[in-house]
Amino acid sequence: MPTARRSRDTRMTKRPRRAPNYDRKLTRRIVLDDGTHIMTLRDAANLFAERFATVTSWRLLEFAIERLIAAAESAERDKVKAATDAIERVLRARRLLRVRQVHHGRLMPGRHSAPS
């Protein structure tokens, strides 16, 4: 019987699961072609729900959603970075990201054209 008690006690002392936190910031800001800024996991989740609601099967999107959920459930920066990368890959594949233009020999994120 002591073995059963130990296993029950072990289960009781496990850390409780954290509630998902979709307000975590992405590791970098993502700017869409229409000027929308995606800065949090919630922003990305809402965008996916709006833009991809009719997509029935696309592994790249499924992978990004899995990463997004894992990042929301974890406090680890690596998981948030993995989610950010996956989100960006989906948006790039659908050509939804703002185009980067060269300005004075450097890439300028989020610029449509060089200033006059």
The model's pLDDT over 30-74, given as tens digits with 9 standing for 90+, comes to: 999 999 999 999 999 999 999 999 999 999 999 999 999 999 999
Domain that holds residue 31: 25-108
Residue 35 CA to residue 116 CA, distance in Å, equals 20
In a domain, residue 4? The reply is no
Number of domains observed in the structure of the chain: 1
Measured from the Cβ of residue 44, the count of other Cβ atoms closer than 10 Å reads: 27
Q: Which stretches does DSSP call E strand in 1-116?
A: 25-31, 37-40, 101-103, 106-108
pTM of the model: 0.72
In a domain, residue 18? The reply is no
